Chains A and B, each alone.
Chain A
């Protein structure tokens, strides 16, 4: 860690981010502006999540970083190594062992505990951004809890497709008050946010916003009485561990249309394999997959 403060950020920046985090926890789902710093990696690679993690992290913490559920992809490996180097903290790939989990686009399959904190990397914190480009206007819409346009957007999906066709970043209402973007997690993960025992923190570096969901907070995916929210997943079982209830990645295995469906959460999949669960281990041909 020579030449750097603990966890890279200077203390003044950490104080500013910490103050934003405390206000975010006090107002569940509300986006708090913060002075996002330039980090040694580009926007879009998790600068918001890294700044939140750096401000929360202590020497006794054990950090896990996942990218689309996987511990072994470039982004996850780089961020884990960044904190191992600048903070000297222990890192892990085991969801159970981690006290802080920084994530891009997934919530681990394993239920999180009260003593854990999950930090989401957020590209676009404003759930209304595609409906109303003006920041000043969306701020006012949040102030007035004026979310009719989002319901219209869902309704238009139903009239056009027969169902709500949002598969990720599915908008949620937090604590019956704020409409919130859950970051691009699959809609499959949305129910895990509801009454989660762990504290959930969200950092958007480029957009300079922090928000949070305290533990045991009501988080509802937007829906209609006659079109209740439902999750979707690929109908296959994991080819490696046989899980029929986890979120699956589709992996193309050749240029003949062959593909495999495997758990997106690598730790979950490896744990199950270690417990003796097995899948077919074989790619499936195009016809079978379709």
Chain B
């Protein structure tokens, strides 16, 4: 367990810059942003994954840690002061390295769609790999987005999530020190 690895060296400024990266990524889906360059997180987590979680997760937000990220549990619990969620369905945030079944996460309610889970998914690479066409709010025109490490049937699985709108899961994709985001409002087609 790597609980002795540090979190943010300058929590106020680094949380702010990471938040702006995530905010911009969600506002302009598919665009690539930098975060976490100065971090040394546990080996299972990419710097951007760790930065996003340090920025957004705390004791108010149960975090679901997928088995493939379990090695980082102690580090996340300590630095985010959070408690692991009992199940994915009750989690405010979930972190995983392989896309889980989105329907097992909290998709919110019609009256409170904001209560849904935000999934932080660590992938192999962003900006390269299979191409998807994104369209929806935040995009002036349909845009090409590339990510490596998403399942082959990602577009179909995302379509089921997008169809729930305004309910649904929001996705933050992280690789290395790069991140991108797909809010539920975005439709994804294979390009």
User: Which residues from chain A sit less than 8 Å from chain B, CB to CB?
Assistant: 5-6, 11-12, 14-16, 18-28, 30, 32-33, 55-59, 114, 139-140, 142-144, 175, 177-178, 195, 197, 199, 213-218
Contact = CB atoms under 8 A, between A and B. Distances in A.
A15 to B, nearest CB: 6
Interface of B: 11-13, 15-17, 19-20, 22-24, 26-28, 55-56, 58, 60-61, 92, 109-114, 116, 118, 137-140, 165-166, 170, 183-185
25 contacts: A5-B12, A6-B16, A14-B16, A18-B56, A20-B114, A22-B26, A22-B118, A23-B113, A25-B26, A26-B26, A26-B184, A28-B137, A30-B166, A57-B16, A58-B17, A139-B112, A142-B111, A143-B109, A175-B185, A177-B165, A177-B166, A178-B166, A214-B27, A214-B138, A218-B137
Nearest to A57: B16
Contacts of B20: 56, 58
Contacts of B17: 58
Contacts, number: 110
B49 to A, nearest CB: 16
| Most chain A CB atoms below 10 A, which of B16, B20, B183 | B16
A27 B184 contact: yes
Given A30-B166, A32-B114, A15 B13 contact: no
B138 A140 contact: no
Which 10 A-B pairs have CB atoms at the shortest separation, nearest pair first? A26-B183, A143-B110, A214-B138, A23-B114, A217-B137, A143-B111, A216-B140, A32-B114, A214-B27, A214-B137
